[in-house]
Structure 1
Amino acid sequence: MTTNQALLDEAKNTNPARAEEIYKQILVSSASPSSVERDQVLRDQGNAMIKLAELYRHQRNAQGLAEVITLSRSFMSSTAKAKTAKLIRTLLNYFNDIPNSRQTQIDVLLDNIDWSKREKRIFLKHSLEIRLVSLQLEVSQFNAALTRIDTLLTELKKLDDKMILTEVHPLESRVYRGIGNLVKAKAALTSTRTAANSIYCPPHLQAALDLQSEILHAEDRDYTTAYSYFYETFENMSSQDDPSALNALKYMLLCKVMLNLPEDVTTLLSVKLAVKYAQLREIECMRAIALAHQNRNLAEFEKVLLRFPFDVQLLSGPTIRSHLAALYDPLLEQNLLRIIEPYSVVEIDRTLKRSELSQMILDKMFYGVLDQGKGRLLVFDEPEVDDTFGTAIDTLEQVGKVVGSLYARVSSFWFCVYNR
């Protein structure tokens, strides 16, 4: 057994502080001239690096994990490029379990992108840049993400790498969606499908493309079409245990609410594929929003938004946030209707602004008049529609058709008579 292997065994059975010292000691050890021993030392260093990163992950130490990635560069210079890319992706994935580490991860990515560029590791650089853009999207750094994407796309088009282009164009679409440019967001998605048609597109990537396409449908307020596509995507993602299936389910529930069908939310969550998500906080929030909409209760809707804050990652996304903002006005109108429906006269001070009521009267959401002098709202019953005039007009139209037909026949008869 080599010295490094003995140290690794010791680190497994000691306290975290001592284990940290051992792993660092292995990382700075030098290899002997023998190729066999040198390979063994590199393997031990790789194992020590992973174990040290795992230790920092358990300790929620983002800065320590960043230092491990920086230390790994000397090790990566002695290994194959494919193994290097796999190792750095593994180390970066450990940040996902450390809360509030996004900015540290962004700094690490920027530093390693510069290193990859200096070392001329182009494919590693592209991989890191894609990850960086995804993080910048999460923290709403749209301008920085767009600048990075423009440069990245220029390089990828020169290389004609369709696979990576299929990954980057959806990010471009999401960035343009984030800044509100839906035309360019759709154009980027079209470019994605063009690139995807010429290669084999993995199922998870195809599902991500479909999900982005459906989000853009929802942005056009075409909720019926968006829902049908969301459902199909949700089925595909659930069968593959894709974490994005939860997003597809949230968007499905959102479409039901926006279509004024909040009662369908409970039925939808009883479907076999959706049952395993039904108890998650995000889904609980959507269920509560649907219930508030069903009850036409604005106060309940506002309480839901306070009860489920942004840390559940429901309202932090631009898609759901924008649609919930659009839901506020119709819910306000429904809340007003619920208040005034039982009465024929309502004191305006007890409801909301007069402008809201007057607009609702103009939109014929209910029938009434504002008595400005007494500060009252007079509510009328919905007038009954008299179909007599409409029926009379329909009858006259049919009589006109009969007369026209008879006239045509008579004209034809006399034309035949005169031409004998």
Structure 2
Amino acid sequence: MSSFLPASAESLDLAVEAKDPSESISILYQVLDDPSSSPDALRMKEQAITNLTEHLREQNRAEDLHSLLTQLRPFFSLIPKAKTAKIVRGIIDTVAKIPGTSDLQITLCKEMMQWTRAEKRTFLRQRVEARLAALLMESKDYSEALTLLSGLVKEVRRLDDKLLLVDIDLLESKLHFSLRNLPKAKAALTAARTAANAIYVPPAQQGAIDLQSGILHAEEKDYKTAYSYFFEAFESFNALDDPKAVFSLKYMLLCKIMVSQADDVAGIISSKAGVQYLGPDLDAMKAIADAHSKRSLKLFEIALRDYKAQLEEDPIVHRHLSSLYDSLMEQNLWRLIEPYARVEIAHIAELIKLPVDHVEQKLSQMILDKKFVGTLDQGAGCLVIFDDPKTDAIYPATLETIFNIGKVVDSLYVRSAKIVA
């Protein structure tokens, strides 16, 4: 049996004074081995757990944190359930701060779910399940996350735990958005807002609701409303020094670009709020704003290449920039082909500095979308542009007259039917 140290303030001081982190960790483990269960000893052990958790995080010892959670189960039976929930969630949050531990976090949550079911700790189980659903969504296991959330939503609504319900509804909205089911994403967000209106919502949670609202409005091309929501989210996260503040600011800049106000981007970045978040994310948006202002596809592509992680790998930014790129390309193509009645596709591709097949595909799409009237002569490798046929005003006027006569005849028929009857 391993030796132990008494769970006292002196033992904790000994751990603090240790020169080597591994020595501090060893002392704290020995404090946890103390069999005493007096109120003072339990309080000292709680402090030891907090200190040990922090030391293990600094050493990136995720597996040891996993083992610690299993090792503490007998201790959890000696302390109140609320304190148990706080310690468990604290350790899971600490593991999340160690890079590359997504699979371990999922394993940890599944093990704790089984334990909480066996111990009938409903309050803790529901929160661990919500955390597991979020992790499954991040790992793109959408079906399992949705199954887990569906059961959890019904259970929490029955218990009327509003704070947890806000979290779950918000998570459900994000999940449906990831699955491209916008009506359900909006319905879940509305449910989250309704639950949030009935209680005090912490600023971080309110910021998350505003951020999701902005994302959904941007998806519907309502960029002005989206901007206001992103601004609210930015204010909440900025006050808390939350890393999500930079994403809110990034999406604010995206909205400005999408409504053709790219000139405002530099001003926002150089403002007092923007300066403290200077970095690759804001540099990426500035490069896109510059390309948009100059209507330059080349600058646009350079920005996408240089800031791939910030633009291409952010699904929200990527989706909107794809549509912006298409729009910019159409404008450039239309400007180039406008003076011609017949022009070689290779010449247009050379002017716009894009591959011929890429330009050909885009021109055919523009013709199908009726952006202009023309045809592709692929044999000759040319684009033939037709003059817009002028619609003779007599035809719609004639149709309207016939339509009105029809209404008069129908009315007379109804009246005659009543007279005969």
Q: What TM-score comes out, normalization by structure 2 length?
A: 0.77
What is the rounded CA distance, in whole Å, between the counterparts of 2:25 and 2:229 in structure 1?
A: 50
Does the 8 A contact of 2:7 with 2:32 survive in 1?
no
Question: What number of residue pairs does the alignment pair up?
Answer: 376
Whether the 8 Å contact between 1:296 and 1:335 is mirrored in structure 2 is: yes
> Which residue is equivalent to 2:399?
none
Measure how far apart 1:341 and its partner are: 8.2
What's the counterpart of residue 12 of structure 2? 8
Structure 2 CA distance, aligned partners of 1:149 and 1:364? 44
Q: Is 1:29 the equivalent of 2:26? A: no
Of 332, 356, 364, which aligns to 2:329? 332
Residue matched to 2:219: 219
From the superposition, tell whether residues 111 and 305 of structure 1 become closer, same or farther in structure 2 (CA, over 3 Å). Answer: farther
CA, structure 1 residues 62+307, in 2 after alignment: closer, same or farther (shift >3 Å)? farther
Cα pair distance change 1:129/1:360, threshold 3 Å: same
What amino acid sits opposite 2:15 in the alignment? A
Tell me the alpha carbon deviations over residues 185-204 of structure 1, each in whole angstroms, 9 at most, x when there is no partner.
11112222332333333443
Separation in 1, partners of 2:255, 2:12: 54
- Report the alpha carbon displacement of residue 251 of structure 1 after superposing the two structures with TM: 1.5
Instruction: Tell me the equivalent position of 2:154.
Output: 154
Alignment of 1:192-271 (within 5 A): 192-271=192-271
User: Is the contact between residue 235 and residue 273 of structure 1 (CA under 8 Å) also seen in structure 2?
Assistant: no
Identity between Structure 1 and Structure 2 (%): 43
CA shift, 1:57, in A, is 0.9
**1:14-413 to 2 correspondence within 5 Å?**
14-31=19-36, 38-277=38-277, 279-310=278-309, 315-334=312-331, 336=333, 347-350=344-347, 351=349, 352=356, 353-360=359-366, 375-376=381-382
Aligned equivalents of 2:41, 2:285: Cα separation in 1: 53
Q: How far apart, in 2, do the equivalents of 1:248 and 1:20 lie?
A: 39
What residue identity is the alignment partner of 2:266? T
User: Per the alignment, in what secondary structure is the counterpart of residue 92 of structure 1?
Assistant: helix
Q: 1:238 to 1:3 in 2, by over 3 A?
A: closer
Task: State the 1:112 CA deviation.
Answer: 1.0
Q: Distance in 2 between matches of 1:189 and 1:182?
A: 10
Deviations 1:9-59 (A, max 9, x none): 34332323333332222222311xxx6xx2333233323322222222111
**Aligned equivalents of 2:294 and 2:20: distance in 1?**
57
Seen in structure 2, the aligned counterparts of structure 1 residues 115 and 183 have a Cα distance that, compared at 3 Å, is same
Name the CA shift for 1:134/1:24 in 2 (closer, same or farther; >3 Å). same
- Structure 1: give runs of 5+ residues left out of the alignment: 391-420
Report the residue type matching 1:307 in the other structure: D
* Deviation (angstroms), 1:229: 3.0
Gaps in structure 2 of 5+ consecutive residues:
350-355, 394-421
Could you tell me how far apart the structure 1 residues matched to 2:294 and 2:65 are? 49
Q: Deviations over 1:250-284 (max 9, x none)?
A: 2111112222332322122233322222x122222
Is the 8 Å Cα contact of residues 166 and 196 (structure 1) preserved in structure 2?
Answer: yes
TM superposition shift of 1:367: 9.0
1:99 Cα deviation after fit? 0.9
Alpha-carbon shift at residue 309 of structure 1 (Å)? 4.2
